[in-house]
Amino acid sequence: MEISVALLLQLGAVLTALALLGAGARRFALSPIPVYLLAGLALGNGGIVPVAAAGQFITTGAPIGIVLLLLTLGLEFSATEFASSLRHHLPSAVVDVALNATPGALAGWLVGLDSVGILALAGVTYVSSSGVIARLLEDLRRLGNRETPAVLSLLVLEDFAMAGYLPFFAVVASGGRWWHAVGSMTAAVTALWIAVSASYRWGHHVGRLVTHPDSEQLLLRVLGITLMVAAVAESVHASAAVGAFLVGLTLTGDTADRARRVLGPLRDLFAAVFFLGIGLSVDPQRLVPVLPVAVALAAVTAATKLATGIFAARRDGVARRGQVRAGTILIARGEFSLIIIGLVGSSITGVAALAMSYVFVMAIAGPLVARVTGSPARAAEASLP
């Protein structure tokens, strides 16, 4: 086997730089996500220090990062409780679509985009980043907060919505007929609901398959099954993140505790690669011309996500401070928005540049805003008076 010196050297330098940047961020009690994103921007196309050899590893490892983030998040909850939370938050999902897709659609109309461009920008402003938010919940120690089930319910319902939106948009963006788009959307949503129902009814068998006293065996079994389920979810135009989250929900008790311990270091490594990959995919030269419009749109949609989180957390009886935390942690946009941008490509002038600039602003601002909204909930905040 021939070893690439350039790959080892560049990857080693990148990981060392991330370690130093992350340590600096944590010294000031900040999440390292924004500095990882900025590091990716500096290393990508048009950046200061391109890393061509390490770029392929980063691009390949980024999807594994989001899968591991959502898997370990799912390990914190039970399938029964979460299914109940999803049903409870269907009205929150309606509010989410209305408040957050509308600003993108209006912005697209105001800048003169066609119907496909308007639909693209609506999707970009609507969907939050499951990967960024999963890491933030861990960094800010909010997994046990009262508002967290509401936040996770919204994220999963957004992913379900994307399972219908992405197949529809992919056909429309490529010039296909609307009835073909509707057929593709219907097939994807049907396949996703079958998978979710199967996970809810028979998912407990997964625990029996992966349980083993040896840590290496446990790691390989959990990771192998998770990647396969994530692949199936992605193949039906659902999110790989949803598939990984569902696997996490099926593992309970001692198996879940041990899985969290063995997966922790691997998750941290690939999560850093995921955030680096977002920055790496961005060309800095394309961000600057549309930055003022992107910042204005970001300000509006940060406010609408805040309102969405407040509405959802209030439905769970969370106190005012927890409602604000729920809203601010939903601000970040990321992987789904990048997929939409990729589907648009260069076919619609101006959409990709504006959307990319907007996503990058929100991916950096989201963690910073979430950090200043307070520490984990106290017992006194458990419910409204």
Q: Mean pLDDT score of the chain, rounded to an integer?
A: 84
Residue spans per domain, the chain: 5-375
3-state SS assignment for residue 108: helix
Lookup: tokens for 302: 């940060």
Least confident piece of the model among 209-218, 274-283, 310-319: 274-283
Say how far apart CA 30 and CA 42 lie, in whole Å. 20
Burial class (CB in 10 A: 0-12, 13-18, 19+), 109: middle
Of 22, 25, 65, the closest CA to residue 271 belongs to: 65
Which residues lie closer than 8 Å to 345 by C-beta, 6 or more apart?
A: 352
Which residues lie closer than 8 Å to 225 by C-beta, 6 or more apart?
A: 206, 209, 210, 247
Q: What is the pLDDT of residue 25?
A: 84
CB-based contact 328:306 (threshold 8 Å): yes
Quickly state the pLDDT bin for 37 (edges 50, 70, 90): confident
Stated pTM of the model: 0.79
Quickly state the pLDDT bin for 245 (edges 50, 70, 90): confident
Question: What digits encode the pLDDT tens for the residues 297-336?
Answer: 999 999 999 999 999 999 999 999 999 999 999 999 887 7
Residue with the two structure tokens 């939050």: 128
Give yes or no for residue 163 having a pLDDT over 80: no
CB-based contact 194:168 (threshold 8 Å): no
Which residues lie closer than 8 Å to 69 by C-beta, 6 or more apart?
A: 130, 131, 134, 135, 241, 267, 271, 274
Give yes or no for residue 28 having a pLDDT over 80: no
3-state SS assignment for residue 93: helix
Q: In sequence order, what E strands does 172-232 have?
A: none
Q: What is the pLDDT of residue 284?
A: 78
Which of 3.40.50.300, 1.20.1530.20, 3.50.50.60, 3.40.980.10 is the CATH number of 5-375?
1.20.1530.20
CB-based contact 40:276 (threshold 8 Å): yes
Give yes or no for residue 385 having a pLDDT over 90: no
Give yes or no for residue 157 having a pLDDT over 80: yes
Give yes or no for residue 99 having a pLDDT over 50: yes
Give yes or no for residue 49 having a pLDDT over 60: yes
H or E element, residue 27 = helix 5-27
Residue with the two structure tokens 């948009």: 169
Q: What is the pLDDT of residue 326?
A: 95
Indicate the length of the chain as a whole number. 385
CB-based contact 210:225 (threshold 8 Å): yes
Say how far apart CA 147 and CA 216 lie, in whole Å. 35
CB-based contact 33:188 (threshold 8 Å): no
Lookup: tokens for 59: 């691009």
Of 72, 88, 69, 91, the closest CA to residue 80 belongs to: 88
CA distances from 300 to 52, 57, 185, 289, 314 (A): 37, 36, 29, 19, 21
Which stretch, 197-211, 238-252, 302-316, 340-354, has highest mean pLDDT?
302-316
**Other CB atoms within 10 A of residue 269 CB:** 16
Give yes or no for residue 375 having a pLDDT over 70: no
Q: What is the pLDDT of residue 347?
A: 56
Which stretch, 53-57, 175-179, 313-317, has highest mean pLDDT?
313-317
Of 30, 29, 54, 28, the closest CA to residue 43 belongs to: 54
Of 121, 125, 116, 190, the closest CA to residue 160 belongs to: 190
CA torsion sign for 184, 189, 190, 196 is positive
Give yes or no for residue 376 having a pLDDT over 80: no
Question: What digits encode the pLDDT tens for the residues 286-299?
Answer: 778 888 999 999 99
Mean pLDDT of 50-65: 86
Say how far apart CA 139 and CA 373 lie, in whole Å. 14
